[in-house]
Structure 1
Amino acid sequence: MHITKTPTADDLRPFATARLDEARARLADLKALAPDAAGLEVCAAYDAIGRALNGLGGWLGIFANAHPDEATRTVAEELEQELSAFGTELSLDRDVFAALERVDVNSLADEQARRLIEHGLRDYRRSGIDKDDATRARIVALKKELVEIGQQFDRNIMTGGKSFKIAEGAAGLDGLPADFVANHPPAEDGSVTLSTDPNDRVPFMTYATRGDLRQAYSLACNTRAYPENLPVLKQIMTLRHELANALGFASWADYVTEDKMSKSGANAREFVDRVMALAKDRAAAEYDELLEYKRREDPSATDVRDWEKAYLSEKVKADRYSFDSLAVRPYFAYAKVRDGVIATSEVLFGVRFERNDEIATWHPSVEVYDVRSKDGGEHLARLFLDMHPRDGKFKHAAMFSTDSGLLGGDSKDEVLPQGALMCNFPEPKGTDPGLMLHDEVTTFFHEIGHLLHHLFSARSRYVEFSGISTEWDFVEVPSQLYEEWAWDTGVLQRFATHHQTGEPIPEPLIDAMRRAEEYGKGLTVIQQMYFATMSLEYYMDDPAKIDPVERMIALREEHLPFPHEEGTFFLCGFGHLHGYSAMYYTYMWSLVIAKDILSAFSGDLMNPAVAQRYYDEVLSRGGTKDAADLVANFLGREQSFEAFAGWLQR
C-alpha cells in the first residue's frame, strides 16, 4: 500500500513538482495509446493522471492556510496556481477527450469504468472542449486569474482581522467566564485587547453585558477585510460570469449547479424560497420574543439589533428553560472532547484510532492518528488534528482532504487515505483545560463527520470517485448528520465529565440544553437562507448590474428582521462567496437529507447495525453512484422533505 509521506516546508516544492511531472508523463502515456485501445486500458491510463496528483491540492491547501512561516504559505499558493494551470490544460486537451470519446461505453461491463468515461466526457464538455481556439484561450486566462484573485480574497480574510481595545480593562469583560478573562490579561495601561477571530468573537457577543461594547466590537468584526475585498469580490463575480457565458451558460449559478443535485440556479433558488417560507412564521415569533425580553430593560425599544441577537437569545433560553450555556463548559475540556469524539467514532464504526507521534507535521501542536481495524491489524487511514488558533492560520473550522483512498489490482496500487481537521478550539495551557462551548463540541462532530466521509470512501478503483466525490450539495450530509451525536445523552455521558470533580454531565442539564436548542432555530434557518440567497443572487445576475453592498442590504431588509448596521460590510469577510460561490444553499439542502437519514436510527444513535448500513451504503461509496441513489439505497425509498419539516416545526 502506498502511504504518502507528509511533506515539509523544505521539500514542498520538489514534492509538488514531482507529482506534476508524473501527471504529465501519465498524460503522455494516455496520448500514446493506440486508437483501438481497449476501454479498460483507456480508463486505467486516464485514471493514472489523477492518481499522480491524488492529494496534492489538499497538502498545498494545508500549507497555504496553516503553516506558521509566511514564506512557506506563499510557496504553497504559487504551487496551487501551478496545479490549477495543469488542471485547466488537461480539461481542454482535445487528444484526451478524443481518447475517451472513442470508448464504447456500452461495451464496458464494469459500472465504475462506464461512469468514469461518462463523467469524463461530461466534464470535458463543461470545460469548453468544443469551443473555438480564441474562446479556449480566454477560458484558460479566466481560470488562471480566478485562482489568483480567489487566493487574494481568502488571504485578505485570514490576515484582515482587527484588534479591539477595551480601555476599561477587565470591567469591560463583565459576563464572560473567568478563563476568558484570565486569557486576556490587561496591558500596562490597564486595557484589554480582543481579536475579531471566532475564539474571541463568539463568547464576547454572547455573554458580554455591556451593549455599547458589543455594538462597537460587532462593527470591528463586520469590517474584516474591508475595504480590500470589495473590489476583489466584484472582480470574482465578473470573471465567473464571463467564464460561464464563454461556456454557454447564462450565469455562473447555472453553470456551477448543473452537475449538482439541484441541477440549476433556478432549482436552488426554489429550494431556498421553500425553506424560507416554512421557517418564516417561527422566526417571526422568536424575534418577537427577543424584542419582548429587551423591553424589560428598555420599554421604548422598537427593534432588536444584530449585535444584540446572540446575547438576548442566551437570556431568553435562561429565562424559558433555566439553561445557561456556560454551565456545560466545565464538562467539555478539550482533551476529553477530542477523546470522546474519537471513542464514539470507534464504537460506531468498529475501528481503532492509534496516536502516532513519529510523523512529522507542519506545526508542533498537530496530532496524528492512524485508523486501524478493530483488531488493530489493517491500517485503514491516517488523520491530522490541527485544532487550536495561532497567527497566520485559517480562522474557522474545515476538513482538508489529502490522499483519497484507492483500491488496486494488487497492494502496490492501493493508497492509504489521509486528511486533516483544521479548527480553532480553546487550547489547554497549564492549569487551563481549554473549556469548550457546546457549539464547539457540535462543530468538532461536524468536521470529523467530513473527515470520516473522506477516509471511509475508499472502495473505488478510480480516484475520480474516491474520497468526498459526491455532488457538492450532498457534501454536508455526513457532517451535519454527525452533529446529532453531540446532543445524545448516552454519547455525552461517555466522555463529558467535569474537569474538576470527574462527575459525568447530569442528564437534566443535557435535557435543558436540548430544550433550549429548540429555541431560535427559525431565526437560524432564515439567516442561513439569507446567506444562500445572497450567494445565489451575486452569481445569477449580470455583475455589471449589481452593487454587492446595496444588494446585501436589500436582501437583509427583505429576509431578516434585524436591521442593517450602518458601516458594516459582512460580505468582505464571507469566505464562502469565493469557496462555495453560488452554492451556500448546499448547507440547508444537505440538512434536509441528513434529517431524513437520521430517522433511520429511530432514536438509537449507537445502533451498530444501522451504522454499518450507513457506512456500507453511503460513506464508503464515495462518488461511485449519484447521491440520490446512495440515499435511496440506505433508506429503502426516495429521500423526503418530511423529516426536516417536522424538525423545523417541532
Structure 2
Amino acid sequence: MSNALLDFSALPAFDRIQPADVGPAVDALLEKANAALETVTAPDFPAEWNAIAKVLDVATEQLGIAWGSVSHLNSVADTPELRAAYNAALPQVTEFWTRLGADERLYAKYKAIDPAALNAEQQRAHHNAIRNFVLSGAELTGPAKERFAQIQERQAELSQKFSENALDATDAFAYYATAEELEGVPADVQQAALAAAKAEGKDGYKLTLKMPCYLPVMQFAQRADLREKLYRAFVTRASEQAEGDACKFDNTALINEILALRKEEAQLLGYANFGEVSVVPKMAKSPAEVIHFLRDLAHRARPYAEKDVADMREFARAELGLAAPEAWDWPYIAEKLKEARYAFSEQEVKQYFTAPKVLAGLFKIIETLFEVAIRRDSAPVWHPSVEFYRIERNGELVGQFYLDQPARTGKRGGAWMDDVRTRWLRPDTGKLQTPVAHLVCNFADGVDDKPALLTHDDVITLFHEFGHGLHHMLTQVNERDVSGIGGVEWDAVELPSQFMENFCWEWDVLKHMTAHVETGESLPRALFDKMIAAKNFQAGMQTLRQIEFALFDMLLHTEHDPADDVMPLLAKVRDEVAVLQPPAFSRTPHTFSHIFAGGYAAGYYSYKWAEVLSADAYAAFEETVGADGQPSIETGRRYRKAILEAGGSRPAMESFKEFRGREPQLDALLRHQGMSQ
C-alpha cells in the first residue's frame, strides 16, 4: 500500500511512514470515521453496544492507530517535515474527537443502551462512556457547545507548541568544554561528549541539557563555573530568562492561555475550576482531599528533609569549603556527601549495569513472577536501536512491545509507555486482538563498541515503564475501553509502575542483572549493601520536591487566577513546602510538560497517591518472601490476576482490596522511604 498509515494488515509500518502520508491518511480516516458516526446515530440504528462498536469503534480505532503512529514519531524522531505535517493535521483530528465526545445523538444512543444486556466489562465501559460524554460537553448546547469545541482545539495546539518549545530549547543548547573544565566528570560521559563534538567537526567536548549529560556534570564536575553555566541554561529553558536567542522558545504566554482555557472549560461544564473537573474520573473525591493528602505527607516528611539540608550544609562547609552553597552546588554536594557517608559513588555502581544485562535481569523477574516468556520478535521500527519483543504464556501470544532506550536529537526527554493497540475481542471479526506497547527511555548510548551503562536511577526508570507496559499487556479484559490501562483512574495508573521499582532494591534480583563492563563480574554484595544503606538518602527532600510540584499543580488549577503570573504562586508553595529555594531566575513551570502537555493537569499528585498503593502492594511480597529470598510466585499470581489482568474493568480500589484484603495504608510508604518512627 503506497500510504503506510492506511495499512492495517499488520503492525504500523514505522520504517515506511513519510510526512507526506500524514495529510492524505488523516483525511481518508476522518471521512471513514465521520461516515461511521452518521451511521450509528441514525434514528433507526439499534441502541446496542456491539452494534455500535462494530461500526464506530472499528473506524475510530483505525484513526487512533494511524494518528498514534504519527504522534509517536513526532516524539521519538522529530523532523521539521514531520512536525509540519503533524501540526497541519492536529486541528482536524482534535476537532473530530471533540465533536465525537460531545455528540448529543451518540450520547442519546448510549443512554438508551440497556445496561442489563451487557456483561460486567461492558457495563463498566458504558458507565465510563456516559461520564465522559458529560465531561466532553455532550450536555452543552448552542454557543456554549461551540465554544467548548474551540477550547479543545486551541488547547491541543498550545500543548503541542509547549512541548515543541521545551524540546527545541533543550536541543538548542550546546557548550563545547575543554578537558580541564571536565575534571571530575565520569569517563564515559566525557567520551560521549567528545564523540558528539567530533561528529559535528568541532573541538572540545559537547555538553547538552539532555539528562545523560546534564545530570552527571551537575553531580561530578569540580568546576563550579561549569555547573553554573549548565544549571542556568537548564532551569531557564523555554522562558523569558533564557540567554540570547533562546528566548524565542518562551512558554510564558502559552502557560497563561492554557490555564485560562482550562478554567473556562470547567465553568462551561458547571464546575468552579479545572481541579474539580480533573478529579471526577479519579480515585480522589475532591481537590480538597488531594491538597490535604499532600500537606499531611509534607508535614510528615519535613523533619527528615530539614535534616537532609542541615547535613549537606555542614558537609559543604567542613569538607568542601563551601560556606554559602549556590543552587548549582547542591547536586555536587549531595553526591560528595553520599560518597563520603556510604563509601561509593553512582559512577562506581554504573559500571555493573550494562544495558543488555539489566534487560535480561528485568525479563527474568517478569518471567518468573508473572509466569510468562519474553522472546525477541520482529516488526518495522523507526530507528536501528529500537528492539521488538513478544510476551507469551503457555506458548500463546499475550502482548508485544517496542523498546527504545537511547537518548538522541529529535527525541523528547523523559521516559514513557504508550499503547500502539489494545487487547480487544473485535466486534467486526470476533477475533481476539492482542495488545502492543511502546516503552521509551532516554539513556546514554554505548560508546566505542561498549554496551551502554545505566545508572541505578536509569534501572529504576526502566522497571517503572515496564510496570506500565505489563499493566497494558497482561490484561485479560476483552472490552477495549477498560482493557489494560484503559479506564483505570489516573491516580491509580502509577501503581503497577511504581510497584516494579521495588525489585531494583532486591539482592536476589539485582545479582542476576549486573556484569561489570570490563571484568564481567556481578555487583559485589558489599557494594549492594552500601546502596541499600544509601537507598533513602535525602528521601525527605525528594518527597518534598514531588509534593512541591503536585501542590503547585493543584493550586494552579483551583485557586490561581489565570490572568496572573504563575511564579508568585510557585514561590508561595515553595515557602510552605520546600527546604531549599532555587534562585529567582529559575523557571520550572516552563518545561513542566506533565501538566501543560502530558495529561497530568491537576493530576500530578497521582505519583505520590499511587506510591501509597504500590508500597502497600509490595509489602504483600515482603510478607511472603521465601527462605531463599525469592518472591512468592503465589503472591505474584494473585497480584497479576487482581491488578494487572483486571485493568480498568472495575474501580481501582476494588482491585486493590481484592489483592490486599483491605484499603491501602500510608505506613508502608513511610517505612519504605525511611520516614517512619
TM-score w.r.t. length of structure 2: 0.90
How far did 1:191 drift? 4.1
C-alpha RMSD of the superposition: 2.4
Q: Which residue of 1 aligns with 2:555?
A: 537
Partner of 2:142 in structure 1? 133
What amino acid sits opposite 2:98 in the alignment?
T
- 1:160 maps to which residue? 169
Deviation of residue 627 (structure 1)?
Answer: 0.8
Shift of 1:229: 0.5
How many Å apart are 1:372 and its aligned residue? 2.1
- Return the letter of the residue paired with 1:641: L
Which residue of 2 is the match for residue 326 of structure 1?
347
Return the offset for 1:52: 4.2
Q: Please tell me whether the aligned partners of residues 460 and 624 of structure 1 are also in contact (alpha carbons under 8 angstroms).
A: no
3-state SS in 2 of match to 1:160 = helix
Alignment of 1:72-221 (within 5 A): 72-105=82-115, 107-108=116-117, 110-161=119-170, 162-165=172-175, 169-185=178-194, 191-221=204-234
Distance 1:457 1:80 in 2: 31
Larger displacement relative to structure 2 (79-88 or 630-639):
79-88
Question: Do the aligned residues in 1 keep the contact of 2:125 with 2:481 (CA within 8 Å)?
Answer: no
Larger deviation, residues 617-626 vs 41-50? 41-50
C-alpha distance in 2 between matches for 1:199 and 1:173: 15
1:433 aligns with 2:451: yes
- For 1:226, the aligned partner's letter is S
Distance 2:220 2:150 in 1: 49
Aligned partner of 2:275 in structure 1 is 253
- In the TM superposition, residue 469 of structure 1 has moved relative to its aligned partner by 2.9
Aligned pair 1:226/2:230, yes or no? no
With 518-527 and 388-397 compared, the bigger mean Cα shift is at 388-397
Q: Separation in 2 of the partners of 1:69 and 1:101?
A: 44
Residue from 362, 365, 372 that aligns with 2:385: 365
- The residue number in structure 1 matching 2:664 is 639
Q: What SS class does the counterpart of residue 418 from structure 2 fall into? A: strand
Task: Identify if the C-alpha distance between structure 1 residues 144 and 334 changes in structure 2 by more than 3 Å, giving closer, same or farther.
Answer: same
Matches for 1:247-646 after TM superposition, within 5 Å? 247-297=269-319, 301=323, 304-357=325-378, 359-374=379-394, 377-408=395-426, 412-544=430-562, 546-578=564-596, 579=598, 580-602=600-622, 604=625, 606-646=631-671
Q: 1:219 deviation in Å?
A: 0.6
Q: 1:464 and 1:349, CA in 2 relative to 1: closer, same or farther beyond 3 A?
A: closer
Call closer, same or farther: CA 1:468–1:56 in 2, change over 3 Å. Answer: farther
Instruction: Report the CA distance shift for 1:254/1:64 in structure 2 as closer, same or farther (over 3 A).
Output: same
Instruction: Give the stretch that moved more between structures: 455-464 or 621-630.
Output: 455-464
Deviation string, structure 1 residues 99-124 (Cα, Å, up to 9, x no partner) = 1122233x335222222322222111
Q: 2:415–2:465: 8 Å Cα contact kept in structure 1?
A: yes
Any conservation in 2 of the 1:367–1:386 contact (CA below 8 Å)?
yes
The answer to whether structure 1 residue 67 and structure 2 residue 74 are counterparts is: no
Range 208-217 or range 438-447, more displaced:
208-217
**Residues in 1 aligned to 2:418 and 2:562: alpha-carbon distance in whole angstroms:** 34
| 1:68 shift after superposition | 4.7
1:31 equivalent in alignment to 2:41? yes
Q: Distance in 1 between matches of 2:322 and 2:603?
A: 40
1:173 shift after superposition: 1.2
Equivalent position of 2:13 in the other structure? 6
SS in 1 for 2:422: coil
Q: Report SS of the residue matched to 2:554.
A: helix
> Do the aligned partners of residues 15 and 344 (structure 1) sit closer, same or farther apart at CA in structure 2, a change above 3 Å counting?
farther
TM-score (norm 1): 0.93
Task: Tell whether the 8 Å contact from 1:47 to 1:462 is kept in structure 2 after alignment.
Answer: no
Q: CA deviation at 1:274?
A: 1.2
Matched residues in 2 for 1:367 and 1:583: separation? 32
Q: Report the CA distance between 1:312 and its aligned residue.
A: 1.6
Alignment match, 2:243: none
Secondary structure (helix, strand or coil) at the match of 1:517 reads coil
Q: Deviations over 1:374-401 (max 9, x none)?
A: 4xx3122221111112211111111121
For residue 253 of structure 1, what is the amino acid of its counterpart?
Answer: G
Letter in 2 for 1:20: L
Q: Distance in 2 between matches of 1:432 and 1:458?
A: 40
Alignment check: 8 A CA contact 2:480 2:486 kept: no
Q: 1:474 to 1:78 in 2, by over 3 A?
A: farther
- Residue by residue over 1:528-573, the C-alpha shift from the partner in whole angstroms, topping out at 9 and shown as x without a partner, is 0001111112211243453112222332233212223132212211
Secondary structure of 2:407's counterpart equals coil
Structure 1 Cα separation of the partners of residues 91 and 372 of structure 2: 37
SS, match of residue 411 in structure 2: coil
One-letter code of the match for 1:222?
Answer: V
The letter of the residue matching 1:572 is H
Unaligned runs of 5+ in 1: none
Per-residue displacement from partner, 1:339-368 (whole Å, max 9, x unpaired)? 2222322222222222224x2212222111
Contact 1:305 1:562 in 2 (8 A): no
Return the offset for 1:18. 4.7
Amino acid at match of 1:237: L
Q: Counterpart amino acid of 2:663?
A: E
Matches of 2:17 and 2:55, distance apart in 1: 31
State how far apart, in whole Å, the 1-side matches of 2:363 and 2:274 are: 40
- Note closer, same or farther for the CA distance 1:84–1:563 as it changes in structure 2 (3 Å cut): same
Q: How far off its partner does 1:145 sit?
A: 0.2
Query: Deviation at 1:299?
Result: 6.4
Distance in 2 between the 1:183 and 1:295 partners?
A: 33
**CA spacing shift, 1:560–1:174, aligned 2, 3 Å:** same
How much does 1:25 deviate?
3.4
Instruction: Determine the C-alpha separation between the residues in 2 that align with 1:350 and 1:456.
Output: 11
Q: Is the deviation greater in 584-593 or in 496-505? A: 496-505
Cα offset for 1:92?
1.4
CA offsets 1:599-645 (integer angstroms, 9 cap, x no match): 11026363221111111111111210011111111111122222113
In 2, Cα distance between equivalents of 1:398 and 1:125: 29
Verify the 8 A CA contact 2:484 2:644 in the aligned structure 1. Answer: no
Matched to 1:373, the amino acid is R
Q: Contact (CA 8 Å) 2:422, 2:483: kept in 1 or not?
A: no
Separation of aligned partners in 2, 1:271 and 1:45: 44
* Alpha-carbon separation, structure 2, partners of 1:453 and 1:404: 11
For 1:517 and 1:175, locate their aligned partners in 2 and report how far apart those are by CA, in whole Å.
23
Count of aligned pairs: 644
Deviations 1:25-50 (A, max 9, x none): 33233223637645664566665455
